[in-house]
Structure 1
Amino acid sequence: MTHTIEVPGAVLHYDVHEAGASTHPTLLLIGSPMDATGFAGLVTRIKDRTVVTYDPRGIGRSPRTDGAAESTPDLHADDLHRLIDALGGGPVDIFASSGGAVNGLALVARHPEQVRTLVAHEPPAVQTLPDREPALAAVVDIRRTYERDGFGRAMGKFITITSLRGEIPADFADLPVPDPATMGMPTGDDGSRDDALFGQNLMTCTHYEHDFEALRAASTRIVVGVGAESEGELAHRTGLAVAERLGTKPVTFPSHHGGFMEGDFGMKGDPDAFAVTLRQVLAE
Structure 2
Amino acid sequence: MTDPTTGRLRVNGASLHYEVRGEGPLLLLIAGGSGGAASFDGVAGDLAAHHTVATYDPRGMSRSTLDDPGAEQRVAEHADDALRMLDLLSPGEPARVFGASSGAIVSLHLLTTHPERVGRVVAHEPPVVEVLPDAADHRALIARVRETFKTEGPMRAVAVFAAGLKKDGAAIEPPAEIELPPQAAARAEQTMAGLPYFIGRIVPGFMSYAPDVDRLAALSDRLVLACGHDSRGELPYRPAAFLAERLGIELVHFPGGHTGLTTHPAEFCELLLKTLRA
Q: TM-score range by the shorter chain?
A: 0.7 to 0.9
Structure 2: which amino acid aligns with 1:109?
T
- Choose from 162, 167, 172 the match for 1:164: 167
Alpha-carbon distance, 1:194 to partner: 8.3
Matched, 1:208 2:202: no
Looking at structure 2, the residues matched to 194 and 49 of structure 1 have their Cα atoms a distance apart, in angstroms, of: 31
Looking at structure 2, the residues matched to 2 and 220 of structure 1 have their Cα atoms a distance apart, in angstroms, of: 33
1:39-82 Cα distance to aligned partner (Å, 9 max, x none):
10011222221111000100111000134432111110111111
TM-score (norm 2): 0.86
Matched, 1:251 2:226: no
Secondary structure of residue in 2 paired with 1:251: strand
Residue correspondences, number: 255
Matched, 1:138 2:141: yes
Structure 1 match to 2:272:
278
1:155-208 Cα distance to aligned partner (Å, 9 max, x none):
11122112225xx7xxxxxx9xx5x8x4159xxxxxx99822112111111110
TM-score (norm 1): 0.84
Taking every aligned residue pair, what percent have the same amino acid on both sides?
Answer: 36
**Gaps (5+ residues) in structure 2?**
177-192
* Runs of at least 4 residues off by over 6 Å: none
Looking at structure 2, the residues matched to 194 and 111 of structure 1 have their Cα atoms a distance apart, in angstroms, of: 30
Matched, 1:8 2:8: no
Looking at structure 1, the residues matched to 46 and 84 of structure 2 have their Cα atoms a distance apart, in angstroms, of: 27
Looking at structure 2, the residues matched to 145 and 68 of structure 1 have their Cα atoms a distance apart, in angstroms, of: 18
Looking at structure 1, the residues matched to 20 and 105 of structure 2 have their Cα atoms a distance apart, in angstroms, of: 23
CA RMSD across the alignment: 2.1
- Choose from 107, 110, 114 the match for 1:111: 114
**Gaps (5+ residues) in structure 1?**
169-174, 186-191, 262-268
Structure 1 match to 2:152:
149
Secondary structure of residue in 1 paired with 2:246: helix
1:91-125 Cα distance to aligned partner (Å, 9 max, x none):
11111100000011011111011111100000000
Matched, 1:183 2:185: no
Structure 2 match to 1:188:
none
Is contact 2:154-2:200 (8 Å) kept? no
Alpha-carbon distance, 1:219 to partner: 7.8
| Bigger helix share | 2
Matched, 1:223 2:224: yes
